[in-house]
Amino acid sequence: GENVEQHPSTLSVQEGDSAVIKCTYSDSASNYFPWYKQELGKGPQLIIDIRSNVGEKKDQRIAVTLNKTAKHFSLHITETQPEDSAVYFCAVPANQAGTALIFGKGTTLSVSS
Amino acid sequence: DAGVIQSPRHEVTEMGQEVTLRCKPISGHNSLFWYRQTMMRGLELLIYFNNNVPIDDSGMPEDRFSAKMPNASFSTLKIQPSEPRDSAVYFCASRTGRTNYGYTFGSGTRLTVV
């Protein structure tokens, strides 16, 4: 089955710096790559996703890039703010049917002002 | 849209007791997922339903766990008997029937078994 690894597990940046989180996956047939943000006491929330027919997608200060050859995708946050502090998860479809997602172990991002 | 609604938010129970967690998905969403979150194992998929039918329950840890979806607007996850190692946050999520689209998660139920 599919496997996903996420790095780093923790990331500390100064306000205004950029943050990058990377995930690698094993199934070359995977074609959907979402990122979720989880704040304390809440459920994960979808913040951005990308499909395999594009290499990059941006939404204001966040972007996701995809390298299908190398089987990895990354979340980029620019001009970080304290409210970006949270746990971020990547996910990939568990199988080619694409119904269920499996999640990386998460990255705890801390933005200090 | 009220989102995915889970109840209770917190549950403390004694070992051996039956626990029932509840979920109301977003109206119109055809797929429903139950996940368990712990520090050690992260977010684990337990079971999911399409159009109220269980599709894959291979993530259910033991026979003590069972899940039902009697209609499109309600699902339960039951643990009987509960054990301290079941302590975790349990999330329900729903999605439209289209594959390769993101979920909407509920706020979770924090279960503590003492």
Integer angstrom CA distances of residue A34 from A45, A73, B73, B110: 10, 10, 25, 25
Contact of A108 with chain B, judged by CB distance below 8 Å, is answered with no
The whole-angstrom distance between A80's CA and the closest CA on chain B is 24
| Percent of residues, chain B, with pLDDT higher than 70 | 96
| pLDDT at residue A91 in the model | 96
Confidence at A29, pLDDT banded by 50, 70, 90: confident
Asked if A43 lies within 8 A of B108 by C-beta distance, the reply is yes
Closest by CA to A38, choosing from B79, B35, B32, is B35
8 Å CB contact of A46 and B106: no
Select from A61, A60, A58 the least CA-distant residue to A78.
A61
Is residue B96 within 8 A of residue B29, CB to CB? The reply is yes
Cα–Cα distance for residue pair A37/A81, rounded to 1 Å: 14
Confidence bin at B62 (pLDDT 50/70/90): confident
Q: Is A99 in contact with B4 (Cβ distance < 8 A)?
A: no
CB atoms within 10 A of CB B65: 19
Whether pLDDT at B105 is above 70: yes
The residue with tokens 């094993």 is A26
pLDDT at B75 over 80: yes
Q: What is the mean pLDDT of residues B81-94?
A: 97
Residue of A nearest to B105 (CA): A43
pLDDT at position A98: 63
pLDDT in tens, A47-92: 999 988 889 999 999 999 999 999 999 999 999 999 999 999 999 9
- Res A57: pLDDT: 95
Q: Is A100 on the interface with B (CB under 8 A)?
A: yes
Per-residue model confidence (pLDDT) at position B98: 72
Interchain pair A43, B107: CB under 8 A: yes
Q: Which residue would you say has higher pLDDT here, B23 or B98? A: B23
Q: What's residue A33's pLDDT?
A: 94
